[in-house]
């Protein structure tokens, strides 16, 4: 039998539907792959003990003639920021080690209801703070393209699991780029939906005005199939958007014909090329833009003068919201408690938070509480919110002239483990291209655009669209993906060296 772990989710789903393979076989193949490579990759914090039973139930239902959803029986990796009843949920932190949730996150519940089989929980920077997964309390994840390099962050585990063929699909969260930047450095596809398009109920909050859950996959169509399952209104999430959404899988299938590119107006931010993109990243981006133009798209230079302040504004707004969200880890309600004999409640709380939080989390709590404190609020938090408004206006002006905005998804390819760990500002700079979308609530997609001419590592191209126009990203992403894969003679991941032999 062909290696089931190499199949796209859509193709695996077709084989499951026709009865050619069973979900137990597909799930076992992925569990075997995890056993084979995850000692090196460390994409998973927890592998499910229930996956085979759950797959068996799907197979039984299918054999009994039940009409099942398209992805029924397909395995799924779940970022550990999402709570689950049958596996621990730690958000990459010691403070939640072993924590069992009494309920499933809405996206997990919807995935289960659609017959997807959760394989396990994926590694991440602690509380989703980071761009390399090195801030995980459980050790870093390694990039399957080169095990000495980072898989991006904070969702490096989900991206690496998909890139290393340990799972065909994964769920991620994107507060400032944590779905798109890992996609960029691992040669995978990642989508940050419109703010409010996908429920955040049961997602352990980082910054509530920025967080969004989305799909991680090896193709645009696969991402669309998963988005169709997890998206849509959820009464449990107060920020969830009302109204119906089109099928994103249908949008991807339509996009693959390429017709969408004729007359498509693609905006390129004129201020961005000066912002220090690695030459190989800039080359790959230019080649993709030339390809779009050749296929009939019109490339339009646009101005977004406030994007350069996005990182500064984000790193005030995010810590402010995070410091408030993380106040609930108080040694009483969730997770770890460090006893202080004879100590007060405050002593126990302080000792617990000291032992339970890692250095990046502490740094952001300090920054956030400072920015929110009386006397500094207007100067820091208030100013950052004003910048946020200016960035939203930059988007509104740009989208008056263009259909999508394109850029490289991140400034560099995967850097070496440890390279930026002691330099928070260098780490924050990775989010240069992704953060504006979170500040404005607009959707973004990252798809592989090729290998960098200077170091041979994967590069991603990002497209942004106006709020609620997520389907446009699937159409455009699938159109470019089809052109690029024609050029490469197959998916980019077929060229990943560390994967061909399983482990190095
Ligand atoms: N790298 C960004 C940060 O550290 C983004 C994180 C995210 O999207 N969760 O905050």
pLDDT tens digits, 7-56 = 999 999 999 999 999 999 999 999 999 999 999 999 999 999 999 999 99
Residue 164 has pLDDT above 80, yes or no: yes
Ligand 1 pocket check for 131: Cβ under 6 Å: yes
| The predicted structure's pLDDT at residue 220 | 98
**Residue 244: exposure state from Cβ atoms within 10 A (0-12, 13-18, ≥19):** exposed
Q: Which atom of ligand 1 is nearest to the CA of 210?
A: 8
Rounded to whole angstroms, the Cα distance separating 215 from 294 reads: 29
- Model confidence pLDDT, tens digit, residues 280-322: 999 999 999 999 999 999 999 999 999 999 999 999 999 999 9
Centre of ligand 1 to C-alpha 94, Å, is 19
| The predicted structure's pLDDT at residue 497 | 72
Residue 71 has pLDDT above 90, yes or no: yes
| The predicted structure's pLDDT at residue 377 | 86
Pocket test for ligand 1, best of 173, 175, 185 (most atoms within 8 A of CB): 175
* SS3 assignment, position 51: helix
| The predicted structure's pLDDT at residue 9 | 98
Residue 487 has pLDDT above 70, yes or no: yes
CATH fold, domain 4-271+278-288+407-500, is Amidase signature (AS) enzymes (3.90.1300)
Q: Which atom of ligand 1 is nearest to the CA of 207?
A: 9
Pocket test for ligand 1, best of 177, 318, 444 (most atoms within 8 A of CB): 177
Centre of ligand 1 to C-alpha 141, Å, is 16
Q: Which residues contact 355 (CB under 8 A, 6 or more apart)?
A: 94, 336, 338
Q: Which atom of ligand 1 is nearest to the CA of 315?
A: 10
Domain layout of the chain by residue ranges: 4-271+278-288+407-500
Ligand 1 pocket check for 133: Cβ under 6 Å: no
Residue 503 has pLDDT above 70, yes or no: no
Ligand 1 pocket check for 128: Cβ under 6 Å: yes
Centre of ligand 1 to C-alpha 483, Å, is 31
Rounded to whole angstroms, the Cα distance separating 188 from 218 reads: 5
Closest-CA residue, ligand 1 atom 4, reads 130
Residue 335 has pLDDT above 80, yes or no: yes
- Model confidence pLDDT, tens digit, residues 233-249: 999 999 999 999 999 99
Residue 270 has pLDDT above 50, yes or no: yes
Rounded to whole angstroms, the Cα distance separating 30 from 422 reads: 35
Q: Which range is least confidently modeled, 333-337, 348-352, 434-438?
A: 333-337
Give the residue numbers annotated as catalytic, written as ranges: 79, 154, 178
Look over the chain and give the mean of its residue pLDDT values, rounded to a whole number: 96
Nearest of 128, 336, 310 to residue 214 by alpha carbon: 128
Kindly report the CA angle at 77 between 71 and 83, in degrees rounded to 5?
105
Q: Which atom of ligand 1 is nearest to the CA of 128?
A: 9
Ligand 1 pocket check for 154: Cβ under 6 Å: yes
- Model confidence pLDDT, tens digit, residues 84-113: 999 999 999 999 999 999 999 999 999 999
Q: Which atom of ligand 1 is nearest to the CA of 430?
A: 1
Centre of ligand 1 to C-alpha 79, Å, is 14
Percentage above 90 pLDDT, the chain: 93
Cα of first residue to Cα of last residue in the chain, in angstroms, is: 24
Ligand 1 pocket check for 89: Cβ under 6 Å: no
Residue 174 has pLDDT above 60, yes or no: yes
Q: Which residues contact 341 (CB under 8 A, 6 or more apart)?
A: none
Residue 486 has pLDDT above 50, yes or no: yes
Residue 172 has pLDDT above 70, yes or no: yes
Q: Which atom of ligand 1 is nearest to the CA of 175?
A: 8
Nearest of 338, 357, 356 to residue 348 by alpha carbon: 338
**CA distances in angstroms from 241 to 228, 235, 324, listed in the order given:** 15, 9, 24
Centre of ligand 1 to C-alpha 274, Å, is 23
Report DSSP letters for 22-46, one per residue: -HHHHHHHHHHHHHHHHHHH--EEE
Residue 504 has pLDDT above 50, yes or no: no
Rounded to whole angstroms, the Cα distance separating 379 from 69 reads: 52
Ligand 1 pocket check for 203: Cβ under 6 Å: no
Mean of the pLDDT values across residues 462-489?
98
Pocket test for ligand 1, best of 92, 130, 183, 315 (most atoms within 8 A of CB): 130
Residue 474 has pLDDT above 80, yes or no: yes
pTM: 0.97
Q: What six digits make up the tokens of 29?
A: 């193949």
Rounded to whole angstroms, the Cα distance separating 242 from 245 reads: 9
Nearest of 190, 230, 219 to residue 11 by alpha carbon: 219
Mean of the pLDDT values across residues 410-434?
94
Centre of ligand 1 to C-alpha 127, Å, is 9
Residue 272 has pLDDT above 90, yes or no: no
């Amino acid at each position: 039998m062909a290696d089931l772990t190499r199949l796209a989710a859509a193709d695996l789903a077709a084989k499951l539907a026709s009865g050619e393979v069973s979900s137990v076989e597909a799930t076992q193949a992925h569990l075997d792959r995890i056993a084979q490579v995850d000692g090196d990759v460390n994409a998973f914090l927890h592998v499910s003990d229930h996956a085979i039973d759950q797959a068996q139930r799907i197979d039984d239902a299918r054999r009994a003639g039940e009409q099942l959803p398209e992805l029924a029986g397909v395995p799924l990796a779940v970022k550990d920021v999402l709570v689950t009843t049958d596996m621990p949920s730690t958000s990459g932190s010691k403070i939640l080690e072993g924590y069992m949730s009494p309920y499933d996150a809405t996206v997990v519940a919807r995935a289960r209801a659609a017959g997807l089989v959760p394989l396990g929980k994926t590694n991440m920077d602690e509380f989703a703070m980071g761009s390399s997964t090195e801030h995980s309390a459980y050790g870093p994840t390694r990039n399957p393209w080169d095990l000495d390099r980072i898989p991006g962050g904070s969702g490096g585990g989900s991206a690496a699991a998909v890139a290393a063929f340990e799972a065909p699909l994964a769920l991620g969260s994107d507060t400032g780029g944590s779905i798109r930047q890992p996609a960029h450095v691992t040669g995978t596809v990642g989508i940050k939906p419109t703010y409010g398009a996908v429920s955040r109920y049961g997602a352990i909050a980082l910054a509530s005005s920025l967080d969004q859950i989305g799909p991680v996959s090896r193709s645009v169509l696969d991402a669309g199939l998963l988005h169709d399952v997890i998206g849509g209104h959820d009464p449990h999430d107060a920020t969830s958007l009302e109204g119906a959404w089109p099928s994103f899988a249908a949008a991807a299938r339509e996009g693959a014909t390429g017709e969408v590119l004729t007359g498509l107006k693609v905006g390129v931010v004129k201020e961005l090329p000066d912002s220090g993109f690695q030459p190989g990243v800039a080359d790959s981006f230019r080649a993709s833009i030339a390809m779009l133009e050749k296929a009939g798209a019109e490339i339009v230079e646009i101005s977004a003068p406030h994007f350069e302040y996005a990182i500064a504004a984000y790193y005030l707004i995010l810590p402010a919201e995070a410091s408030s969200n993380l106040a609930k880890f108080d040694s009483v309600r969730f997770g770890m408690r460090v006893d202080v004999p004879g100590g007060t409640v405050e002593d126990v709380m302080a000792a617990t938070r000291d032992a339970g939080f890692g250095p990046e989390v502490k740094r952001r709590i300090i920054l956030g509480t400072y920015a929110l404190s009386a006397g500094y609020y207007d100067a820091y938090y208030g100013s950052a919110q004003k910048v946020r408004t200016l960035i939203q206006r930059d988007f509104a002006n740009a989208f008056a002239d263009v259909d999508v905005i394109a850029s490289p998804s991140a400034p560099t390819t995967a850097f070496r483990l440890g390279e930026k760990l002691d330099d928070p500002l260098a780490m924050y700079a990775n989010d240069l291209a992704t953060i504006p979308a979170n500040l404005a609530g607009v959707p973004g997609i990252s798809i592989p655009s090729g290998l960098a001419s200077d170091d041979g590592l994967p590069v991603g191209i990002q497209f942004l669209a106006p709020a609620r126009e997520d389907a446009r990203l699937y159409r455009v992403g699938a159109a470019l993906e089809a052109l690029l894969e024609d050029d490469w003679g197959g998916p980019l991941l077929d060229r990943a060296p560390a994967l061909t032999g399983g482990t190095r």
